[in-house]
Amino acid sequence: MRRVMAMVLAGGRGEGLGVLSMPRAAPALPFGGKYRVIDFTLSNCVHSEIFKVALLTQHQPTSLVEHIGAGRPWDLDRLGGGVQILQPFVRRERSLWYRGTADALAQNLNSIEDAQVQHVVVASGDHVVLMDYGQLVQKHEESGARVTIAVAPVAPERGHRFGMVEIDEQDRVRRFLEKPGPTDLRWASMGLYVFDAGFLIRALAELRGPDLVYDLLLPALEAGERVQAFRFAGAWEDVGELSTYYRASRDLLSDRPALRLDDPRWTVLTRNEERPPAQFGEQAEVSRSLVAAGARVDGTVRRSIVFPGAWIERDAVIEDAIVFHDAWVGRGAHVARAVLDKDAIVGEGATVGAAGDVDDASGLVAVGKEAVIPAGATIAPGSSVPVGGGRGRGLPPEASPKKVHGEWPR
């Protein structure tokens, strides 16, 4: 689709993710055993044959920039189009951080103009969804709308988190309520839009405020512009909160996950780290889990997701846990209902979290990147350990599996 470009809002601070969002932007959050959240949106673009993609970044872009590189894993290292990372930059007349979603787009108006496209898909970089944007664009073209909003059904009790829309029988949007109180509206905006490029360019030029919904969409609706809805029935999750991130992750472990990572027609593309096959030791016990290449399991793993290079030692037990790259869980440690960020160390015999109701987000533990839980320590359910926390206490700062055990990777 040469007439379409995608602007991906990837600046999210992801405050709801707590310590997990400290070292990175939410779209760079690891997900699903080997992916980053942004991989889903990027893969959707590529499979939908949208090869002009711009990522609007702001908060902690380093890990995202490294992950995207020149865009090779997505075949987006191209002469024409490809992937661009648009970070706020210093200008002669003014230099401003992006103040909001619409402001980010407005500051990059020239990128949209230069692309000379008919339609602009605006997507969020912190949503996990597998979706053909082609159908969305096609619906948009057929209806002749200025804007088409992708919508998904949500349970009434969750409506307060979303922009809720009222649609008529022709799928035309009649009302749009941003994060309303209790509501009987069923359709939530997925934060995924396709705009008529000319309309978007004009609207951004006349923008009165920084927000895409309040300052662009709502005024357009009020002015009587045609705004359509595109109903999407598949799995979709905004993983900008620890609870939703955890739920979306756990769904991958169900017998029939709503999000299919193994669909050969819609592969999730990511930067492949060159790691050996996953290794399972003589006493490993693994059930209902995802274990990525490069991981090593010598202990017990139940209902968990283990990323590349993570190592679950003998007699350690992890359950309902998510263990990011190169984290280490020492002998006899017990980790339950927890997310361990990259390079975290759980000392021998330590206890992190406790088994319990996995739907109760208040019991989740988040352990920050490179944090160290000293041997034998206990981290109570519902708490979090800051990035690098515990280094220098209990274990020496240079403590790492490689140091403790003498050689890599033991």
Residues at the contact surface with another protein, assessed by CB under 8 A: 32-34, 73, 255, 261-265, 267-270, 272, 274-294, 296, 305-306, 309, 408-410
Closest CA to 57 of 19, 34, 26: 26
Q: Give the residues across from 230 on adjacent strands.
A: 150
User: Minimum distance between the CB of residue 306 and another protein, rounded to whole angstroms?
Assistant: 8
User: Minimum distance between the CB of residue 290 and another protein, rounded to whole angstroms?
Assistant: 4
Q: Between 33 and 240, name the residue whose CB sits nearer to another protein.
A: 33
Rounded to whole angstroms, how far apart are CA atoms 255 and 373? 33
Q: Between 272 and 378, name the residue whose CB sits nearer to another protein.
A: 272
| CA distances from residue 351 to 20, 111, 188, 217, 410 in whole angstroms, order as listed | 20, 51, 39, 48, 21
Q: Between 70 and 205, name the residue whose CB sits nearer to another protein.
A: 70
According to DSSP, residue 142 is labeled: H
Q: Between 325 and 337, name the residue whose CB sits nearer to another protein.
A: 325
Q: Give the residues across from 178 on adjacent strands.
A: 163
Q: What backbone torsions phi and psi does residue 405 show, to the nearest 5 degrees?
A: -105, 5
Q: Between 99 and 314, name the residue whose CB sits nearer to another protein.
A: 314
Q: Between 286 and 361, name the residue whose CB sits nearer to another protein.
A: 286
For CA atoms 396, 63, 297, 276, give the dihedral sign: negative
CB 42 within 8 A of CB 131: no
User: Minimum distance between the CB of residue 33 and another protein, rounded to whole angstroms?
Assistant: 3
Q: Between 168 and 285, name the residue whose CB sits nearer to another protein.
A: 285
- β-strand pairing of 4-9 with 52-56: parallel
CB 372 within 8 A of CB 390: yes
Q: Give the residues across from 83 on adjacent strands.
A: 53
User: Minimum distance between the CB of residue 281 and another protein, rounded to whole angstroms?
Assistant: 7
Q: Between 89 and 408, name the residue whose CB sits nearer to another protein.
A: 408
Rounded to whole angstroms, how far apart are CA atoms 95 and 315? 55
| CA distances from residue 336 to 274, 315, 343 in whole angstroms, order as listed | 29, 14, 18
Q: What backbone torsions phi and psi does residue 126 show, to the nearest 5 degrees?
A: -115, 30
User: Minimum distance between the CB of residue 190 and another protein, rounded to whole angstroms?
Assistant: 23
Residue 30 tokens, joined: 């690891």
Q: Between 277 and 396, name the residue whose CB sits nearer to another protein.
A: 277
User: Minimum distance between the CB of residue 92 and another protein, rounded to whole angstroms?
Assistant: 37
User: Minimum distance between the CB of residue 391 and another protein, rounded to whole angstroms?
Assistant: 21
User: Minimum distance between the CB of residue 4 and another protein, rounded to whole angstroms?
Assistant: 23
CB 202 within 8 A of CB 224: no
User: Minimum distance between the CB of residue 374 and another protein, rounded to whole angstroms?
Assistant: 26
Rounded to whole angstroms, how far apart are CA atoms 115 and 113? 5
Rounded to whole angstroms, how far apart are CA atoms 298 and 300? 7
